[in-house]
Amino acid sequence: MTAEDGTPQEAPALQVTIVAPVVTAATHTLADELRRDSLHVDVSSADVLRETAAARVYVFCCDAALAIVLADRIVEWGGGRAGLIGVIADGGGHEREALLAAGFDDAIAGRLSARELSARARAVHRRINWSGLRNGRLRFGMFTLDITNRALWTAGRTISLTSTELEVMRALMNARGRPLSRTDLLDAVWGGGDLEVSERAVDNVILRLRRKLPQPESIETVRGVGFRLT
Is-contact 228 222, C-beta < 8 A? yes
Confidence band for 13, pLDDT divided at 50, 70 and 90:
low
Is the CATH number 3.40.30.10 carried by domain 15-128? no
Inform me whether the pLDDT recorded for 61 exceeds 90: yes
Which CATH number applies to 134-229? 1.10.10.10
pLDDT digits (tens, 9 = 90+) for 26-37: 999 999 999 998
Confidence band for 9, pLDDT divided at 50, 70 and 90:
very low
What are 229's strand-pairing partners? 219
Please list, in sequence order, all residues whose beta carbon lies within 8 angstroms of the beta carbon of residue 201, skipping any fewer than 6 positions away. 97, 100, 101, 186, 190
Q: State how far the Cα of 185 lies from the Cα of 121, in Å rounded to an integer.
A: 20
What is the rounded average pLDDT for all residues in the chain? 83
pLDDT of residue 63: 87
Inform me whether the pLDDT recorded for 179 exceeds 80: yes
Amino acid in the structure at residue 217:
E
Q: State how far the Cα of 223 lies from the Cα of 142, in Å rounded to an integer.
A: 23
Q: Which residue, 73, 123, 71, 131, is CA-closest to 102?
A: 71
Mean pLDDT to the nearest integer, 169-195: 83
Domain ranges of the chain: 15-128, 134-229
Share of the chain above pLDDT 90, in %: 33
Mean pLDDT to the nearest integer, 181-190: 88
Q: Which residue, 157, 165, 188, is CA-closest to 175?
A: 188
pLDDT digits (tens, 9 = 90+) for 104-131: 888 888 888 899 999 989 888 876 665 4
